[in-house]
Amino acid sequence: MKAPPGIAPARFEQALRKWRGIVGADWVFTSAQDLDAYRDSYSPLYGEVTERVASAVVAPDSVEQVQEVLRVAHAARIPLYAISTGKNLTYGGSAPAYSGSVILDLKRMNRILEVSERNAFALVEPGVSYFDLYRHIRERGLKLWIDCPDPGWGSLVGNSLDHGAGYTSAPFRDHFEARCGMEVVLADGQLLRTGMGALPNSKTWQQFRYGMGPMVDGLFAQSNFGVVTKMGFWLMPQPECALLLTAEAGRHDDGPAFIDALAQLGYEGLITSQLFVESPVMGFPMGPELARLRADWSERRVPALEDYARRNGLVFWSAPFAMYGHEDVVRTQLAHIRRRIEQIPGARVRETACLRFPLADDQLAAAPDKARLGIPSLSYFVSRFAPGAPLFEGHIDFSPVVPLDGQTLREAQDLFDRICQEHGIAPLGGRVLLYHLRAACLIYAVPVGRDPQANARARAGFARLMEVAAARGWGEYRIHPAFMDKGIGYYNYNDGALLRFHERLKDAVDPHGILSAGRYGIWPRHLRKHV
Amino acid sequence: MKSRPGRLACAAAQLILLLGVAQAAQPTISWTWLPVPAGTDPGKAAFMRACAVCHGDGPDHPGTSSLQIKYEGKLPALLEQRTDLTPDLVRYYVRNGFAMMPRFRKTELSDAEVDAIVNYLTRVRPEPAAHPAQPPASRQ
């Protein structure tokens, strides 16, 4: 057993003893085998001396236990790193940002505390996964939908706090926008509730976000100022029907106008679901012929790519989306959408399914595009496997936020395509993703695995992508801990005023720096490199 | 000593019992989106909750898809149809993961739950497999 950096072994042993007394000996882990399970399976530093690993794990079962555990850590100045379900893979998984931290594993806190069908909300603990809440709702036949990200095994709380998003209607698909009310344990063990939760015996904690005074919810997302132990979420009432649709445009040069038209339909509220614009010609993965054509940046490039699409019967651009509500209403709205898209010569909107709810069990199993129907799954990972393809062990996502402007987004795609080629990176994705509200995100899943040399190449390419994006004013919306310092380093307006403000907050609310050191570049004073 | 009809009845009862056991032990494929019914075998319940989301039946299950590609039909892609799984193999993959499958921590699956899954997945074993599946030789 190894104590966290700078912590005397005797002090660490004493803290472990106290934690065992609080959570039970079975829920404090120190053996190499148990700690191994907390390694980030998708770490770009896997197996290297710089890999971020835990020194121990403590797993409380209640808010009171979290308070006690933090009091011990605060007194002994031992660094903790909080995780919820530990499935934030691509963005760190269950490993700490600061190597040697003790993992505060909240997975055992998995209670669904309330689901209101009348007012369409849920109140959950951090260990509740999207699958858990979906099963809970389905078991009771409640007329509610959840919104889930691609993999459904993650935590509602954890995903929201890392600014994750899903697929159904706005605002539910922006998971931090869909929150309403938080309970937080501060570093010294104090408990607070945000919004209406600050009013004892409040009846509207999950219905009115503001409460009175400054709204501090955002301070606990992508940060390390407290440990969130409860969180409310607004849920979408079950619609009468959902139309699954795909907009399509046939030529390379249609890209900017196609993106702009879809964005405008989003601004007008006619398309409220998440949508992405993808291309079997311009996206990833790609076979050898397409790779060769894409590597040619001469004037031959576009005609060759269009010829490739024609020969292979591929639609150049497509954008799957969904519409929800009463069928007569959505069909009227669809007519407007069609008229707008069809202004692009040859473009069209294809209806792929019309589903009415609730779904019977067999309909549910067969339902296409489950995420757009609020059904959690892991189908996202299926695309990682193809006959003859190299073993895909993991990935880290480069996810810059780019202005919702068709021409700019197309330029960004070509720019990142060039960098991937230069660095020998073969990512997946590259879609224009209308993920959060009012901005686009391009997500490139850069493969990482167990080969340190391949990981080093991936890291170099990833860093270059970040540099190029930042030079154009595009920053990542979320990032792996190995790149958090670099990522936040680009958010340096006025000599890094924002990060310095974060640090002042950190010093005030966590003076000993025990909570999740290094998360999103926020380090306690004694670990800051620039102090 | 029992009479002949008595012996026959006993043999028939034993046969029925054996068939009954075989039918009860034959797992049905777990489904991802339903709550686990009360009274479900603890191993199957843990499998449904933690494993079926990846190793269930249907195209949305990456574990099943990847094993389909790996085995090319030589072995069932569904773990619940395998007869060659050993306790060590199941335990290894749960705690160590493989490729994109992450490790499962004790807060997600306790040792008792892993034991129950092992019991569930290795229960139907008509005869020892000639070449039982083995965990990878080494992993960093």
User: Quick one: pLDDT band at residue A56, thresholds 50, 70, 90?
Assistant: very high
Q: Is the dihedral of CA A150, A153, A157, A161 positive or negative?
A: negative
- In CATH, B28-121 is 1.10.760.10: yes
Residues 79-118 of B with CB under 8 A from A: 95-97, 99-108
Cβ(A349)–Cβ(A300) below 8 Å: no
Inform me whether the pLDDT recorded for B2 exceeds 50: no
Identify the CATH class of A112-237.
alpha beta
Kindly provide the residue ranges of all beta strands, DSSP E only, lying in A112-157, ordered along the sequence: 112-116, 121-124, 144-145
B window 10-39, beta carbon within 8 A of A: 31-35
CB A378 within 8 A of CB B55: no
Residue A411: φ, ψ to 5°: -65, -40
Q: A135: which chain B residues are within 8 Å (Cβ-Cβ)?
A: 33-35
Q: What mean pLDDT do residues A307-334 have?
A: 96
Cβ atoms of residues B98 and B136 within 8 Å: yes
Tens digit of each residue's pLDDT (9 = 90 or more) over A112-149 = 999 999 999 999 999 999 999 999 999 999 999 999 99
Smallest CA–CA distance from B98 into chain A, residue: A393
Q: How far apart are CA A405 and CA A410, in angstroms?
A: 9
Task: Give tens-digit pLDDT for A176-230.
Answer: 999 999 999 999 999 999 999 999 999 999 999 999 999 999 999 999 999 999 9
CB burial of residue A221 (10 Å; 0-12, 13-18, 19+): middle
What is the pLDDT confidence band of residue A412, given thresholds at 50, 70 and 90?
A: very high
Q: How far is CA A59 from CA A37, A98, A479, B108, in A?
A: 14, 18, 25, 11
Give tens-digit pLDDT for A37-49.
999 999 999 999 9
Tell me: pLDDT of A441 over 50.
yes
Start-to-end CA distance of chain B, whole Å, equals 63
Q: What is the pLDDT of residue B36?
A: 81
Residue B23 pLDDT > 70: no
Nearest chain A residue to B72 by CA: give it. A387
Tell me the shortest Cα–Cα distance from A455 to chain B, in angstroms.
14
Handedness of CA B33, B36, B41, B42 (dihedral sign): positive
pLDDT at A168: 97
What distance in Å separates the CA atoms of residue A457 and residue A298, rounded to the nearest whole number?
27
* Confidence at B86, pLDDT banded by 50, 70, 90: very high
Specify the range with the lowest mean pLDDT, choosing from A145-149, A285-289, A388-392, A399-403: A388-392
Q: What is the pLDDT of chain A when averaged over all its residues?
A: 95
Any idea what DSSP says for residue A506? H
> Per residue in A234-270, pLDDT tens?
999 999 999 999 999 999 999 999 999 999 999 999 9
Q: Above 50 in pLDDT, residue B22?
A: no
Q: Find out whether A515 and A225 touch, Cβ atoms under 8 Å.
A: yes
> How do A102-105 and A80-83 pair as beta strands?
parallel
* The predicted structure's pLDDT at residue B37: 83
Say which CATH class A483-527 falls into. Answer: mainly alpha
Q: What angle do CA A214, A130, B94 make, to 5 degrees?
A: 125
Q: Are A340 and A297 in contact (CB under 8 A)?
A: no
Task: Reply yes or no on domain A9-105 having CATH 3.30.950.10.
Answer: no
Q: Where are the beta strands (DSSP E) in A24-105?
A: 28-29, 56-58, 80-83, 102-105
B7 vs A: CB within 8 A:
no
Q: How far is B24 from chain A (nearest CA, A)?
A: 23
Domains of chain A, residue spans? 9-105, 112-237, 483-527
Amino acid at B128: P
Contacts of A301 (CB under 8 A, 6+ apart): A293, A294
Q: Give the sheet arrangement for strand A241-249, strand by strand.
A: A317-325, A241-249, A348-356
Q: Please report the ipTM that was assigned to this predicted complex.
A: 0.92
Number of CB pairs, chain A paired with chain B, less than 8 A apart: 107
Q: Band of the pLDDT at B138, cuts 50, 70, 90?
A: very low
